Amino acid sequence: MEKTYLAVDLGAESGRAILGRLQDGKLSTEEVHRFPNQAETSSGRLRWNLPALMKEVHEGIRRAGERNGGRLDGIAVDSWGVDYGLLDENGELIENPVHYRDEGHAGEVDRFTLELSREELFSMTGVQLLDFNTLFQLTAQRRLAPETLERARRLLHIGDLVAYLLGARPVSELTIASTSQLLGTGDRTWNLELAARAGLPTGIFGELVEPATVTGELRPDAVLETGLAEACPIIAAASHDTAAAVASCPATEPGNWAYLSSGTWSLLGIETTAPVLSLEALASGFTNEAGACGSNRFLSIITGLWLVQECRRQWSEEGREADYEELARMAEEAPPARAFIDPDNPLFASPGDMPGRVEEACLASSQPVPGTRGEILRCIIESLARKYASVVRAASGFAPGSIERLHVIGGGSRNVLLNRLTARELGIPLVAGPVEATAKGNILLQAMATGEISNLGELRQVSAASTELVHFNPAD
């Protein structure tokens, strides 16, 4: 009997529950549940509503069971990185996790590096220094609410936390733990010396496991609530969504390639055999994160389609509702941009009036101010394309050879205008797809855990065979 797996893919804007099956070397998927993931302000902090999220996850499992006769052969959860929950001595969640866009940890890098230089910290962890990294969220927590750290006995990142609440052991999967800035660059274990130096309780960092590891089975009460016929394994596939997405990248042709996981964030980089720790890498804004099967993801974290999402939200509040398809048409029909922005400008980091901020940035740099919605969107899209091209060129300096193509995966791979402009700016072919790259990687790594797939190369062959790829050439 063919195995059926459920990927619970949690994003910063929405979550999905997707069933997957392997048959004749191809993966078929079926979305059974999609739900919003919204933050709320509580106790003066921007937080994730974890109880609401768990309710939706249980609903996704219930619907998956209905579609498959009450049986599942594996469940794996992936999520965005850096954010975490703290468990007390009874294994209970102390409080809802703080959101990475909360302003409480703003400026934390500058405060921390008064005692430890940026260069030394990068050499120890290989991770780009960002205020929302787990390390800095924790030092902010120590400053703002030290009592929670005093009660804490275990830290789990969001994907691992949800898996734990479903029945997994309280373990930390390597790919998501590597976003924390608390792993060493050599053996990729917790850097407890750094944690102690930061004034953090070292006992909260638990067992680390590799991707594609079975970590438990669904709790009896969850089995009963979701209507499954029996418990099923819980698998730590790749708890970090970008790691799962890059694992499914259909890069089967020879030659060097770069990847762009395109969504709320744009994660753009290359695979290397080991972390790149040079001062040039630090100065260029690159980071190192663990990938599947021992790989290293050398990448730049770029503000991505968050800019478009926030524009849509603002216009909706003003009574100018439009879906993403309509927004894409507006950008396509607008004239070529006459002004450009840096997507990583701190002005764009927090929720708010994004169209107004785009106009403000253009005005501040003495550029023509876009007026219509289409012109604002065109400014964002063309600016992203230019940013991607500059990052690929920078990454090529750390690659073993020239980068010959760019694979765009994730929801942003559907943005035809952005893909076309990026290929033109880069001057190399661009391959778009799969859209549901994270869920596919999640499912295929579960299949690796159960022995249906033997290695990363085979996994990518299956992904390529299962995806209708769209090619963009520089001359388009």
- Residue numbers annotated as active site: 241
* Residues near 151 by beta carbon (within 8 Å), at least 6 away in sequence: 86, 88, 89, 94
Distance CA 442, CA 464 (A): 15
CB 258 within 8 A of CB 407: yes
Distance CA 70, CA 62 (A): 8
Containing 281, the helix (H) or strand (E) segment is helix 279-283
- Residue 32 sits at the vertex; the CA angle it makes with 30 and 37, to the nearest 5 degrees, is 120
Question: Residue 90: how many CB atoms within 10 A of its CB?
Answer: 6
Per DSSP, 435 falls in state T
Containing 46, the helix (H) or strand (E) segment is strand 45-48
Alpha-carbon distances, residue 59 vs 26, 64, 329 (angstroms):
27, 9, 34
Alpha-carbon distances, residue 288 vs 2, 267, 281, 309 (angstroms):
36, 11, 10, 27
Distance CA 174, CA 172 (A): 6
Containing 258, the helix (H) or strand (E) segment is strand 256-262
Residue with tokens 């009460």: 221
The DSSP bridge partners found for residue 86 are: 155
Which token pair is 329? 């048409």
